[in-house]
Amino acid sequence: MDGKKAAILGEIPRLRRYALALLRDRDAADDLVQDCLERALSRLDNWQTGESPRRWLFTIMHHLFIDQIRKVDRRGEAAMLSLDTDEALAAPAEQLDTIASREIVNALHAISPERRAALVMVAIEGFSYAEAANMLGVPAGTLMSRISRGREELRGLLEDSARRRTLRVVEK
């Protein structure tokens, strides 16, 4: 196996995490990673040597994700699930072991795909603003506002679901 392939192989766990954070569903996330790897391997020449394979792969994955979101939009389906906590809590637990982590996953999924991608790249994947702006193909100012708005929205949703949980406890 050549060095390029070995480097790509090493990025798979990070790609899976990014895809899972974007899509929430494990199978869908791995399908996205699969598409990303297939596209990457078919364009191995586009990867400039010396450049981090991580940024190159994340850029490919982001484009695929955005394409997918647009397709879903065109079909008229809701691109985002509503934050119906009761329904979400009734859903199979998947990898989410606690109510707190389930709530943050649901909240993250309820914010717009653009804000979600920006927030995940910076807050979870640890990319700098400059790197993330570059991969997402937006100006630095746009990235910053997606991050701050995304974070505020996420917090608001979490506070809403905490309030609803308290209400339910009180009603019982």
Partner 1 sequence: MTRRDFSERDIHLALDNELPGDERAGYEAWLEANPEMKARSARYASDNEALHAAFSDVLDEPVPARLQNIVIGETVANPPASRSKWWFAAAAVLLLSLGGVGGYFAGAIGLDAEVGPADRLAEEAIAAHVIYAAEKRHAVEVPASDKDHMQTWLSNRVGLKLVAPDLTEDGFELVGGRLLPASGSSKAAMLLYEDASGNRISLFVISESAAKTAGVYNEEKDGPTAVYWLDRGYGCAVVGTLPNDRLNEVAKRAYKQLVSSIWS
Both tokens assigned to 100: 């707190």
- Residue 20 makes contact with partner 1 by CB under 8 A: yes
- Residue 16 makes contact with partner 1 by CB under 8 A: yes
Q: Which is nearer to partner 1, 76 or 122 (CB)?
A: 122
- Residue 148 makes contact with partner 1 by CB under 8 A: yes
Closest CA relative to residue 147, chosen from 164, 162, 166, 128: 128
Tally the C-alpha atoms within 13 A of residue 3's C-alpha that lie toward its C-beta. Answer: 5
Check if the beta carbon of residue 110 is closer than 8 Å to that of residue 22.
no
What gap in Å lies between CA 47 and CA 63, rounded to an integer?
15
- Residue 55 makes contact with partner 1 by CB under 8 A: no
Q: Which is nearer to partner 1, 69 or 143 (CB)?
A: 143
Neighbours of 147 (CB within 10 A): 18
Q: Which stretch binds partner 1 (CB under 8 A): 4-12, 48-56, 69-77, 82-90?
A: 4-12
Closest CA relative to residue 56, chosen from 4, 21, 20, 17: 4
Q: Which stretch binds partner 1 (CB under 8 A): 48-56, 61-69, 74-82, 101-109?
A: 101-109
Return phi, psi of residue 148, to 5°.
-70, -40
Q: Which stretch binds partner 1 (CB under 8 A): 31-39, 48-56, 65-73, 76-84?
A: 31-39
User: Can you list the alpha helix ranges (DSSP code H) found in 75-128?
Assistant: 85-90, 99-110, 113-119
Q: Which is nearer to partner 1, 69 or 125 (CB)?
A: 125
User: What residues between 116 and 145 interact with partner 1 by CB under 8 A?
Assistant: 119-120, 122-124, 128-129, 144
- Residue 83 makes contact with partner 1 by CB under 8 A: no
Closest CA relative to residue 123, chosen from 160, 99, 87, 150: 150
Point out which residues bind partner 1 (CB under 8 A): 1, 5, 8-9, 12-14, 16-17, 20-21, 26, 30, 33-34, 37-38, 41-42, 92-96, 100-101, 104-105, 108, 119-120, 122-124, 128-129, 144, 147-148, 151, 154-155, 158
